[in-house]
Structure 1
Amino acid sequence: MAEKQAISNYLKRVSPGSIGGRCEKSLIDDRAALILRTSSQGISQVGDHVEASYLVRVDDTKINRRLEELGCGAQSGAVDVVMLIMEEPPSQADISMILNGADASGTRKLRGLGPFVVFYSSYQRAIRDSIIAGANKEGLKLTRLDTLPEFERMKMSDDDPMVGVYFDTDSEEFAINHRLLKSVENKFSQKETIILYYRISSLYFDQVTRKLKATIAISLHDINAGETKSVGSQDFMVIVAPGQPGMAIRDGLSEVASNAATLLMNEARIEALRMASKAQNKAMKSGSGTSVVKLQLKSKRNMYRVKTTLSSKTVTSAKIENNYLVITLAKGISVDDFVFGELLGTLDKMGIKIVDENIKLSIGNNLITE
C-alpha cells in the first residue's frame, strides 16, 4: 500500500492529469521496476488497529520515461506543453583565450578568441545535444527550431543550429538573431511554452598549464506565465596534453561545455517538470486546455475511416500513432459531448459497438477501445 501511495503522490506532483487514469494504473502495476527501495520506519498497535509507516524511494527517471512512453508525461494532458532550447549570448569578457605577457612565459599567444569563434557552432551543437539527451532521459521532449521547416529561412549560416545566437564576423560580437526570436514569439506565444536557455558563462584556456575550463548556466522561462527561474551554473575542466594540435583545443572545448551542460541538467529537469506540471494544473482549473481522446479499434482501416468523418468544428487534429487514433479536441469542446455526441454515433453507424466498460474518461486520459 505504501508503494502504491508513493507512486500516486509522485504523479500528483509531476503529472496531475494522469491521476485516476490508465497511466497511474500502469505505473502502479509495474511498481516493482520503478521503486528503488522500501524501508520500514515503524509499526505500532493502536487499539484494534496497526499503524505502519514506510520510506519509499522511487526511481523518478524511470517513472518520467515510462510516462512519456504512455503519452502521459508532464508535457501532455490538459494541455500540450512545448519546450524549446535556446541560447543567451556569452560575454567576450568572460571568454579568455589570450594570456597576458606575464602569464604566457614566452609561449605563443592565441589570436583574438581563437578557435572558439571559428568553431562556435560546433560548441553550440555539442551543448544543445547534451541538454537534449539529459532531458530525454527524464521523459522531457525539447523542440529544436532547426527541425521546423518554417524557421529554415532564418538560418545565419548553413551549419547554424538555430538556438538564437551567432557570432557576427562584421562586428566581431556575439549577436542575437532577433528575426528568429520574433518568429518564435509569434508561433509559440499562444501555446503553453517553456524556453530552456543555456549560456556559456565563462570559457578559459591556459596555454601554460593547458587547462581548459567552461562554465555553463541554465535558466527556464515560461512564456505565458512570464516566470523565469535560474537553475544555476556548472563548470567542467580538462587538460589538453602538450604538443596536441589546435583541433584538440576545439574538441576539448566541446567536451568541457557539453559535460558541464549534462551535469547541470540534473537540476534543470526538476525545474522543467515543475513548470510543466504548473501549466497543466492551470489549464485544468481554467478549462483553457485542449483535451485528447484516444481510440483503439481492431482495424486500422476503421480508425482511418473514423478520422475522415470527424468534424473540423470539434477536432483540431487526428492522427494514427502506436495503434491508437489520437484525437485532439478544439478548445471549449468537452470530452463527454464529443465522445457521446459524435464519436460513438459515428462508430454505431459503422457497426462498431463499444461497451461501457471500454469507455474510460478521466482528466488528461481518455481512452476508448473496441
Structure 2
Amino acid sequence: MISRSSQTAAIAFAVLILLLSASIGNAYEDVGVSISIKGTRSYKLKKEAQLLAKKQAIISYLKRVNPSAVGKSCAKQLVNDRAALIKRITTQEISQVGDYMEGSYLVRIDDEKLNYMLEELGCGAQNGATDVTILIMEEPPTKANISMILNPEDSTGVRKLRGLGPFAVFYTSYQRSIRDTIISKANKEGLKLTRLDTFDEFQKMRMSNDDPLVGVYFDDESEDFVINKRLLKVVRTRFAAQNTIVLYYRIESLYFDQVTRELNAAIAISLYDLNSGETKSVGSQDFMVIVPKGQSSVAIRDGLAEVASNAASLLMNQAKKQIRRMASIAQVHAQKKGTLPVTVTVHLKSKRTMYNVKKNLKPSMIRHSEIKGDSLILKLTKGIQADDFVYGELLGVLEGMGIKIPENNINLNGQEVIIQQ
C-alpha cells in the first residue's frame, strides 16, 4: 500500500515536470523594420507607418525563412491575416527627415502560427519548387556521460558499463520519447519529419523488435552504442537524388544523482544536407528536475525520458530556424534548376547490370551518365520529358534484361526521378 507521503511526493514530482514542460519554448521571433513615409509627423502618419511595418515584417520574415513563398497568394494571405500573426509592435525611433517621416520598429511575429498557416496554404518550407524531406536519425550517445545508478545491484561492477544497465534496457523507450517530442515540436512549426520505420523497405533492418530505426542501437555483446551502418547505407542510396535534410539528435548526457536527487539530460542536435554535404550544428540543451525521496526506479526511469524530451523540445526552438534556412536554400536551388534537364537515379542490385543499362540506352536521350556508389545517375538531354524517358525507353531496356520494376518503385518528382529495383 502506497503511503500518503509517497503519493504527495509523486504528485509534486509530476506537477514540477508539467510546470517546466508548459514553460518550454518561445514561439515568436522579433523582426526589425524601417519605414519611410512622405508627410509631416502626426498621429495619423504614425498609425499608417505601424501598419506598413507589420506588413513589411511578415514579408521580411518570409524572405529569410521561406523565399519561395514570397510573391505567391499565400504571402498575401498572411499579410491579410497579420492581426492573428503579430503579437506586438514596438516603436524604436521616429524622426522627421525633410519631407519624410522615418520610423524603426520591432515586430514580434508568432512564427509557430505563421509557419503552420504556410503549411496549410501549401507554401511550407518543404514544398515549392521541390519537396524537401527531413529525416530524423540519431548519433551515438556520449557513453561516458550517462549514469543511471538506481540501486546497489546496478553498481556492483558486474557490468562492464557500471550504472549503464538500466539505461541500456530501456534505451529504445528513450529513443522513441525524444524522437516523438522532436516530431511533435516540428509539426507545430509547420515542418514534417519523416520516420524511417514508416517505410516497409526498412523493416528488415531492425536490430530488435522495438528498434525505432533511428540509426543507433545498443549492442549487448560489445555493451556499446553502435551505428546501424547497413541502415545508413540504404538511407543514403534511397534518398540520394532527393532534397533531403537529416536531423541528427544525440543524447549528450543523461544521469540521476542519488545524492542531490537531480534528474538531468542534455540533448544535442545537428543538421546534415544529404545532397550538398553541408552540416550545421544547432548546439546542445540541458534540462533538470529535482526528484523527491522515495520515488521508485520506474518513476526515475520515466522522469529521465521526460527530461530528455524536454531538453530536445527546447533545442528545437533553435533547430527549426536552421531547418527552414536549409530547406529554403534547397527551394532556391530547385527554382534555378527548374529549366535544367531531368536527373534519373536508378538503384539496381548489380553494378554490372547498371553498366549494361547505361550502354543500351539511346545516346541521343542521355546528356551525361555515371555509376556512383549503388546508383546509376542519368542526366537527360534538355527537352526530354521524365515520363517519356522512363516509360518509353528505360523500362523497355530493363525488361529486355529480365528486370521488372514494380510501379510503386517508380518515383517521378518534377526534375528528379528515382527508380528502385
CA deviations over 1:177-222 (Å, ceiling 9, x no partner): 1111111101111111111101111122222333221111111111
The structure with the largest alpha-carbon Rg is 2
Deviation (angstroms), 1:123: 0.3
**Counterpart position of 1:20:** 71
Question: What is the alpha-carbon distance in structure 2 between the residues aligned to residue 2 and residue 289 of structure 1?
Answer: 38
Q: Residue type matched to 2:285 in 1?
A: Q
1:179-258 to structure 2, matched below 5 A, reads 179-258=230-309
Aligned-partner SS, 2:222? coil
Assess, with a 3 A threshold, how the Cα gap between structure 1 residues 204 and 44 changes in structure 2: closer, same or farther: closer
Choose from 137, 160, 179 the match for 1:86.
137
Cα deviation code 1:64-104 (max 9, x no counterpart): 111111110111111111101100011322212349xxxxx
1:128 and 2:179 are equivalent in the alignment: yes
Match in the other structure for 1:352: none
Cα offset for 1:289? 8.5
> Counterpart of 2:152 in 1: which secondary structure?
coil
Q: Assess if the C-alpha contact under 8 Å between 1:314 and 1:330 holds in 2.
A: no
**Which of 166, 174, 189 lines up with 1:115 in the alignment?**
166
Name the structure 2 match of 1:157: 208
SS at structure 2 position matched to 1:213: strand
Matched residues in 1 for 2:54 and 2:260: separation?
A: 52
**Residues 38-53 of structure 1 mapped to structure 2, 5 A cutoff:** 38-53=89-104
* Offset of residue 163 of structure 1: 0.4
Letter paired with 1:257: A
Aligned to 1:331: 415
Q: Please, which moves more after superposition, 121-130 or 208-217? A: 208-217
Matched to 1:92, the amino acid is K
- 2:324 is aligned with 1:273: yes
User: Secondary structure, in 3 states, of the residue corresponding to 1:110?
Assistant: helix
Note if contact 2:59-2:75 (Cα within 8 Å) is conserved in structure 1: yes
Question: Offset at 1:287?
Answer: 2.8
Which letter does structure 2 place at the counterpart of 1:143?
Answer: T
Using CA pairs below 8 Å that are at least 6 residues apart, which structure has the higher relative contact order? Answer: 1
Q: 5+ residue gaps in structure 1?
A: 100-106, 292-310, 317-327, 333-370
Match of 1:355 in 2: none
Q: TM-score normalised to the size of structure 1?
A: 0.74
Paired residues in the alignment total 297
| Cα drift, residue 143 of structure 1 | 0.4
Which one-letter code corresponds to 1:110 in the other structure? D
Using the alignment, how far apart are the partners of 1:259 and 1:40 within structure 2?
Answer: 35
Task: Indicate if the aligned counterparts of 1:213 and 1:236 stay in contact, CA closer than 8 A.
Answer: yes
**In structure 1, distance between residues paired with 2:63 and 2:317:** 21
Equivalent residues of 2:130, 2:414 under 8 A apart: no
- The offset of 1:263, in angstroms, is 0.9
Q: Which amino acid aligns with 1:270?
A: K
Distance in 2 (CA, whole Å) between partners of 1:137 and 1:30 is 18
**Aligned amino acid, residue 309 of structure 2:** S
After superposition, the Cα gap between the structure-2 partners of 1:135 and 1:175, relative to the gap in structure 1 and judged at 3 Å, is same
In the superposition, relative to structure 1, how do residues 265 and 315 fare at CA in structure 2: closer, same or farther (>3 Å)? Answer: farther
TM-superposed deviation, 1:313: 3.9
CA drift at 1:244: 2.3
Identify unmatched segments of 5+ residues in structure 2. 1-51, 156-161, 343-385, 392-411, 417-421
- Residue identity opposite 1:330 in structure 2: G
Matches within 5 A, 1:283-298: 283-287=334-338
State whether residues 315 and 329 of structure 1, in contact with CA within 8 Å, keep that contact through their aligned partners in structure 2.
no
Q: Does structure 1 retain, via aligned residues, the 8 Å contact 2:66–2:325?
A: no
The letter of the residue matching 1:157 is: S
CA shift for structure 1 position 260: 0.8
- Cα distance in 2 for residues equivalent to 1:67 and 1:86: 26
The one-letter code matched in structure 2 to 1:279 is A
Distance 1:289 1:9, change over 3 A: farther
- Counterpart CA distance in 1 for 2:80 and 2:292 is 52
